[in-house]
Structure 1
Amino acid sequence: MPPPFRLLFRACLGLVLLLLASSGARATHIVGGELDLQYVAGSQYRISLNLYFDAINGNSGALDTDLTVSIFDKGTNRRMQDVSLPLTSNTFVTYSNVACTVPTLSTRRLVYSRLIDLPANQYFSPAGYYAAVERCCRNNGISNIVNPGDAGQTFYLEFPAVVRNGQPFLNSTPRIFPPLSDYACRGDLFYYNFGGTDSDKDSLIYELVTPLSGHSTPGQPKPGAADPAPYNPIQWQPGLNVLNQIPGNPPLRIDRQSGRLQVLPTQLGLFVFGIKCSEYRKGVKIGEVRRDFQLQVLNCPRNTPPSMSVLMPGKGTPYRAGLDTLRLTPGSGRCITLRFTDPDPSSTLSLSLNPVNYTGVLPSFSITKGLVKTPGAPDTLISQLCFPTCVNTRGKVFLLDVIVADDGCSLPKRDTVRVAFTSMPDPNGNPTITTTAGPGLPLRARPGDLVTFTLTGTDPDNDPVTLEMTGRGFNPTAYGAQLTQTAGGSPARGTFTWRVDCQAVNKPIFEFEFAAAASPCNERQASSLIVPIQIDYSNVAPVLTTTLPPDSAGLPPVIRRRLGEVYEATLEGVDADANPLVFTATGKSFELAAAGITFVPRNGTGRATATFRWEASCEAVRQQGLEVTFQLQETTCLPQPQTRKVRLEVIPPVVPPFLPPNVFTPNNDGLNDFFQLPNLPPDFCDSRLSTIKIFSRWGNEVYRTTDRDFRWNGSGLPAGVYFYLVEYTDRQFKGTVTLAP
């Protein structure tokens, strides 16, 4: 439509809206809105209210700085908590087509939001919960309900318990988007997508519902908290109901699966409507969100849809939708010509694509937008739609909607041509790969060797080539093998390097698979080759000889010496593979030096010797014998250590029988004049004489000495029985002796 006509239309539209606004001069303002509950972390959720406010007819005094949401147990209506939600955002809702914006139609989106806590020990009811906010009043100019200026709105959602079967049950409500910002034209199809998203990937079902008025009134427009359910519904005007909310042919409908809203209105007015989005998990409903909104229906100037014709490539004949199939073959033209126009003057036309059963790369337009029928502008626009050479439908017929749309108000008019097509890409050859590793295969390597060779990948169509490396039954990088691509494109070159280490000896042969891969049209094409590498490794155990006594019946030999005596032995190791050899000696639970042992190894390549010396000491007595392990260790991939063990023991001294006298006569006759203990056990390591004590029959100590060669003559004590106590560091001897007159 030309600019003067568009300005006239907007002026008329503004007058209509002004008249509607004059009937709603009261403090009515609610366009609609919905609640939203999103999981954050732990037991925290964010609850938000989106309230859509009539920025033209609404009284600014009704713009709240906070609103209260109430949460109830759905099974019992028990109030769980009331939460004050502060205003966190105040923005304008934008039009779908900014060119159709009119200054007399404006909606604000007010967001009230707060973090709340829903602990599992409180929110576990199997019936679930619901949240509600009550606020009055709706726009007085609404056409399809009774007493709209007295009708409030109940913003409502339902959510499940946060725990189920003893486990956390996390859920966020679906988010319906976007809010409606446009008006509808009487006699023209109006459509809008109210489809939402769900962060939990739950299934969403949409349906029309009667909006809820609730308990708020003009006298109490902002209750301190919501009342529990049930909430009073709005009252439809006669002849209207939940399935006929906006009169039309057809009336207002919503697609259950997509949330697409559409109506072909037949009456002028401002119409409120309600939708419900229910979420299902594993076939069970777990929650719902309700949204109320309103739609203005106006008389609009007639807008004729644009038209489009599609010309077949190389023919110039029109494509017949439903009859023709566009077949794109190697060497054939891959572009179709689009001719599109609009009977209305000064129309801006836009092209777009909608793939029906096709998910590949879309074809491209030479032009996507243009103006027709203004001074200097053509009556018909022409665009080329060219399909990529890579498209391969593999014989299947794909469908693609080619759409031309005008810039009419309130929504564009369209013409759609559904193009059926098949496509075969141009032929493409596989890349090839060569290597300098041959011709003598398998390659042979020993641990410590560096294996290296180059690879070259070439593509006959000069597609970029990537060199790849894998292992048959192993991961090359885990063994330290690397493939470095040193040149890209075609040909591509790379270098293989592998420093063979000991972990490779457990696998006798490694089959490295190399590939040269190209991806023309995003489809992988590759050729490969195998380079086997055989690992050569063998090892003979070293031989250990020694002057130590041989084992006896599988047990280590026992070497016995008296305290202070010395034992010496030599050890020698020889390795046929000339591997480095190392001698070690370790004591079982003791240090060699602390036990009087010295061990001197002389390690070397292919041969090693060692000397062992033990000076018998009390440590062997304390340990009740010493066990020493000798080991000859070779440095190689699979070592075979040789070991010998020996047990060292100290020979204890000979202990004569302990036969103390039981009587003595200190009469100076030269016979038994003293009490003495000549046969006391000798001191031995930690068993040493401590004290000798003699007591009277009444327990009085009458004599003490530390001299094992003592002689006690009674010291003028009366005749009688006396008790003696001989104390060693590890034991005692007790007895009696009689002092005779």
Structure 2
Amino acid sequence: MKPLRSLGLLLLLLLPLVASATHIVGGELDLQYKSGSTYTLSLNLYFDAINGDPLALDQSLVASIFVKATNQRVVNVTLPLTSNTFVQYTNPACAVGSLSTRKLVYTKEITLDAATYANAGGYYVAVERCCRNITISNIINPGGAAQTFYLEFPAVVRNGAAFIDSTPRIFPPLGDYACRGELFYYDFGGQDVDGDSLAYDMVTPLNGHATAAVGNNAPLPSAAPYAPITWSQGLSAANQIPGTPALGIDARTGRLTVRASSLGLFVFGVRCAEYRKGVKIGETRRDFQLYVLNCPTNVAPRLQVRAANSAALYRPGRDTLRLLPGGNRCLTIRYTDSDPNSVLTMSTRPVNFTVPAPTFTTSISGTVRAAGAPDTLTATLCFPDCSDTKGKVYLLDLIVADNGCSLPKHDTVRVAFTATQGTNAAPVLSSSFPPAPAPTVDAAPTVVRVTLGQRYTATLTGTDADRNALALAAVGEGFDLASMGMQFTAQNGAGLANGTFAWEPTCAAVAAIGTSNGLVVHFKLTETGPCVPLPQERAIRFEVVPVAELTAFRPPNVITPNGDGQNDFLRMPDLPVDFCDNKFAGIKIFSRWGQQVFASSERGFQWGGQGVGGLYYYLATYTDGRKFKGWVEVIP
């Protein structure tokens, strides 16, 4: 760690002249949608925990909502104090005794109903409070300067429909200090739960109407306009903290940067505007402070990059790594620091891609202890075998950071690379099942009829020319194989997998099938190892049939009951067999005039024609409703 030294005189200069001053550091308003017409209105107020007067910690504050077009007051809302915490440093080891900030949260649920909040020009919320830190360097009369917390939000109804909006949340609050002459950076970027576009700019903090004469009694907010604070000579919204560069913010990301040229305590203002479909619908402001102190010199760390097995250093902006299948896909990184006892940490940041990201395979942090002859730390970074830039050049930042104060210093090497994957031939799934039907958009399963009570077996084989690990599995569609008495075993391995399916269907399985027209089993062959696995599958629909279903039912149509022992009786041995609960119910024989002349419930019946020749008609029925009709001629 690189500690901050020689701050005694400076800290004395920064001590307050009036112990009873309230010492407001800054803050912002926040409005979040809950449900229906309910929203949560909050004020985040940042308070100097070192020099602030504890008696100035209000237990509640009043926020007022106004119509933006007319400045008409709509309602006053009392916000009770609900949270009191400390703002954390980016690096707690860099903490200094003169800088400690409390975050006070005042919050309450409010109702924004469509009948009241329908003005197309929108609304604004304001809270006014005095006073700021008296040691602020960049404004006139800081001890008498107040603060107006300000937020704009749209009507809750638009074009007759509900218009829901939560204001952007700027985060996090600033707990750090800046070192004079060193680049300071901080992320003030926000989040918007509605997905609205956010834009940032620097603005002059608002003073408003509150005065020091009010004391610790917070005033009722007045309507806009709110007077701005008065900048010291030569300063402005575009030059709030002088330096090279002066304090600025990235309009898209919300990242603050400054290389301050003067010591002191500086107040600054940031505005975050939200846009929906290109139209501005609201904004929120944050006022805050930044200490600029003298810090010990901190030399930035350095890093070098080599491709594995290469003696040449990687040259950013000139070299492009080409990662090929089967080749070495690792980088060797050497990093160091000329400052003694520096703790260095490596990290990566994809610039124009997301996945797959390379990973470190060795330690990425260490301590450089030797001054003048610095140690050198080493890390290895390897790109996944499945990296594929699809012909594009991807950019990856390799970053080494020290633990210097107030913020780490970095060295960055931007690596350009292309990567391709190895080809993968699809595995082949073969089986003893009947051939699959011709491919269609919605390929139907292959139908396999299995005889009730008879064991059916099938074999499956998976092969892969790439010798990837293969695995066979069987999955029932909506049922468990074991519950139906089905068995599947597999022997899996590299480039080869074998499986055996066996089933002896029972009446219990038939009952479970019901009217679903069979049981579908998906036989799956999966492979592991390739970047893009190509699984294979066969779907088989098993249908259960009775033992003699395939025997044609062809009853005789002539009998000659003359006693010669030849064709004397009508018999039907080829009637469809009983199938579990679906059984033969009986047969009836009728004369040509419709008179019943014979009936039997026995499958082995025989009828001799009643001694009267002519045509007769029969009707055989089953318990499942099946019927078989026909005729027979009796020739005496």
Is the TM-score greater than 0.5?
yes
Q: Who is 1:610 aligned against?
A: none
Question: Among residues 194, 213, 236, which one is paired with 2:188 in the alignment?
Answer: 194
Tell me, yes or no, if structure 1 residue 68 matches structure 2 residue 27: no
Larger Rg, first or second structure (1 or 2) = 1
| TM-superposed deviation, 1:422 | 2.1
**Counterpart pick for 1:410 among 406, 420, 426:** 406
TM-score by length of 1: 0.67
**SS of structure 2 residue aligned to 1:391:** coil
1:80-479 paired onto structure 2 within 5 Å: 80-221=74-215, 222-365=217-360, 366-374=362-370, 379-426=375-422, 428-438=424-434, 443-445=447-449, 453=458, 455=460, 457=462, 461-463=467-469, 465=471, 467=473, 476-477=477-478
Counterparts of 1:226 and 1:397, CA distance in 2: 56
Question: d(CA) in 2 for partners of 1:68 and 1:485?
Answer: 73
Residues 425 and 133 from structure 1, CA distance in 2 versus in 1: closer, same or farther, beyond 3 angstroms?
Answer: same
Shift of 1:91: 0.8
2: CA distance, partners of 1:333 / 1:113: 57
Partner of residue 50, structure 1? 44
Judging changes above 3 Å, is the alpha-carbon distance between structure 1 residues 142 and 277 closer, same or farther for their aligned structure 2 residues?
A: same
Q: Distance in 2 between matches of 1:605 and 1:183?
A: 102
Unaligned runs of 5+ in 2: 438-445, 553-573, 587-598, 605-619, 630-636
User: Aligned partners of 1:247 and 1:641: how far apart in 2?
Assistant: 103
Instruction: Give 1:530 shift.
Output: 6.1
Checking the alignment, whether the CA contact within 8 Å between 1:462 and 1:489 is kept in structure 2 is no
Kindly tell me: are residues 26 and 447 of structure 1, through their superposed partners in 2, closer, same or farther at Cα, counting changes over 3 Å? farther
Report what 2:533 is aligned to. 524
Question: Which whole-Å deviations, capped at 9, do the CAs of 1:99-122 have from their partners, x for residues lacking one?
Answer: 211111111111111112222222
How far does the alpha carbon of each residue in 1:612-643 deviate from its partner, in whole angstroms, 9 at most, with x for none?
Answer: xxxxxxxxxxxxxxxxxxxx997549x7999x
Residue matched to 1:38: 32
CA drift of 1:98 comes to 1.4
Distance 1:520 1:173, change over 3 A: farther
1:252/1:262 contact within 8 Å kept: yes
Q: 1:580 to 1:172 in 2, by over 3 A?
A: same
| CA drift at 1:329 | 2.2
DSSP 3-state at the match of 2:469 = coil
Q: How does 1:625-640 map to 2 (within 5 A)?
A: 636=624
Render the CA deviation track for 1:123-156: whole Å, top value 9, x for unaligned.
2222222111111101111111111111111111
Task: Measure the CA separation in 2 of the matches of 1:64 and 1:318.
Answer: 60
Cα distance in 2, alignment partners of residues 51 and 484 from structure 1: 69
TM-score for both structures, normalised by structure 2: 0.77
Alignment partners' CA distance in 2, 1:312 and 1:105: 45
- Cα RMSD (Å) of the superposition? 3.9
CA contact 1:435–1:455 (8 Å) conserved in 2: yes
1:308 Cα deviation after fit: 1.0
Offset of residue 383 of structure 1: 1.6
Show structure 1 runs of 5+ residues with no match. Answer: 471-475, 541-574, 584-601, 608-631, 643-741
State the one-letter code of the partner of 2:350: P
Deviation at 1:582, TM superposition (A): 9.3
Distance in 2 separating the partners of 1:606 and 1:296: 104
Verify the 8 A CA contact 1:350 1:404 in the aligned structure 2: yes
Contact residue 468 and residue 529 of structure 2 kept, 8 A: no
Structure with the greater relative contact order (CA < 8 A, sep ≥ 6): 1 or 2? 2
C-alpha displacement at 1:495, in angstroms?
5.3
Distance of aligned partners of 1:112 and 1:456 in 2 relative to their CA distance in 1, 3 Å threshold: farther
1:496 CA displacement: 8.7
Q: State the Cα distance separating 1:526 from its structure 2 match.
A: 2.3
Q: Structure 2 vs 1, CA of residues 240 and 376 (structure 1 numbering), >3 Å: closer, same or farther?
A: closer
Distance 1:425 1:376, change over 3 A: farther
Question: Match of 2:280, as an amino acid?
Answer: K
> Do 1:120 and 1:162's aligned partners in 2 also have CA atoms closer than 8 Å?
yes
User: Structure 1 counterpart of 2:449, which letter?
Assistant: A
Letter in 2 for 1:463: A
Instruction: Give the counterpart letter for 2:161 in structure 1.
Output: Q
Q: Deviations over 1:490-525 (max 9, x none)?
A: 4485859896746456x9xx9987542335365232
Tell me how far apart the structure 2 counterparts of residues 246 and 375 of structure 1 sit (CA, whole Å).
35
* CA distance, structure 1, for counterparts of residue 8 and residue 459 of structure 2: 78
Partner secondary structure for residue 17 of structure 1: helix
Displacement of 1:332 in angstroms is 2.5
Q: Deviations over 1:238-265 (max 9, x none)?
A: 2111111111112111111111111111
The 1:604–1:354 alpha-carbon spacing in structure 2 relative to 1, beyond 3 Å, is farther
Alpha carbons of 1:152 and 1:522: their partners in 2 closer, same or farther (altered >3 Å)?
farther
User: Matched residues in 2 for 1:172 and 1:429: separation?
Assistant: 51
